[in-house]
Amino acid sequence: MKKTVTTLADGRELIYYDSADDAVRDAVDERPLDPPAAASGLRVDPLLGDTVAVASHRQARTYHPPADACPLCPSRDGRPSEIPERDYEVAVFENRFPSLAGPTGRCEVVCFTADHDASFADLTEERAALVLDAWTDRTAELAALPQVRQVYCFENRGAEIGVTLGHPHGQIYALPFTAPRTALMQQRAAGHRAATGRNLFDDVLARERAGDRVVLAGEHWTAFVPYAAHWPYEAHLYPNRRVPDLLALDDAARTEFPQLYLELLRRFDRIFGPDEPPTPYIAAWHQAPFDDAARDEFGLHLELFTVRRASGKLKYLAGTESGMSVFVNDVPPEAAARRLREVASK
């Protein structure tokens, strides 16, 4: 992998990741951009302890532009974009409209491909491996920032999820705090260790591998529908050897990951049949916070889920879910796992 670091016209960082060591990335961003004026702040909910980012400048972010004005496509004559090169493999840049900036953290955009009409599931295994390399490299770089405590890599796909740019891309948030969901997992893991002497993530994976909710099982990764899935179709992907973050994956796990992940995404697109539009989803990497004494107890994993519950029907969060975080799932996890096995690639 070759990494080329440059800057955009307003000073934001742009990084190209290429599979060839001789790749040359020297295009210059000549747009007349003003310096970033991000003004995000953090507030802590006194009742829940949750941290809320207030970022009013995001009201002005780009919203559903036509394909010929996509800011994530390569630049063309007369149509400059966030990526000055005329083509690219994987590109990462600082978000122009970040939720977090400066002392409150950092937000980056990860473009998986220059093809506007593709999706992550369309990538080759080689390109998916390059994306994994980019996620890993960004995790290392962002974790070194003094204000960063946790690095969160994720992808939102589909208008139903709230995506405002159709180009295949994900994001990385460098958080100056431990996310509430992660903190709760850590609390549960500590309690499990105290009660049993064992690791919670190891026990979850062992139970699922022995059950009927496994979707894909490789030598180094396992994908399964969790016992208490919150969403109609939800799959978790665990490395079979527990590690706290992407940095700790060994070469064998890194090599196998693209095979299993691409197959899992392709199955998600086939859940509802060939006439249904692409399945909207969120894919979320859960990594251990840095500078945490118990981080080795945490288990890296990816959670993939969709808000579509049936053909033409979406799962909306109702009063119990939005108001009290009490989820009601219309699809039994065993049925979801069975369906994800049925739609395997031939």
Please state, in angstroms and rounded to a whole number, the distance separating the CA atoms of residues 92 and 111.
6
Determine which one of 64, 167, 169, 230 is catalytic: 169
- Please name which of 172, 142, 165 lies closest in space to residue 63, comparing C-alpha atoms: 165
Please give the span between the terminal C-alpha atoms of the chain, in angstroms, as a whole number: 31
- The Cβ of residue 77 has, within 10 Å, a number of other Cβ atoms equal to 6
Residue with tokens 């390399």: 133
169 is catalytic: yes
What gap in Å lies between CA 82 and CA 73, rounded to an integer?
8
Strands 13-18 and 2-7, sheet pairing: antiparallel
- Contact partners, residue 68, CB within 8 Å, separation at least 6: 79
**Taking the CB of residue 320, how many other CB atoms lie within 10 A of it?**
11
Residues 6+ apart with CB under 8 A from 124: none
∠261-339-285 over CA atoms, to 5°?
30
Looking at residue 184, the DSSP 8-state letter turns out to be: H
Burial 228-239 (b: 16+ CB within 10 A, else e): ebbbbbbbbbbb
| SS3 (DSSP) at 217 | strand
The pair of structure tokens assigned to 317 is: 């969060």
- Catalytic residue positions, numbered: 169
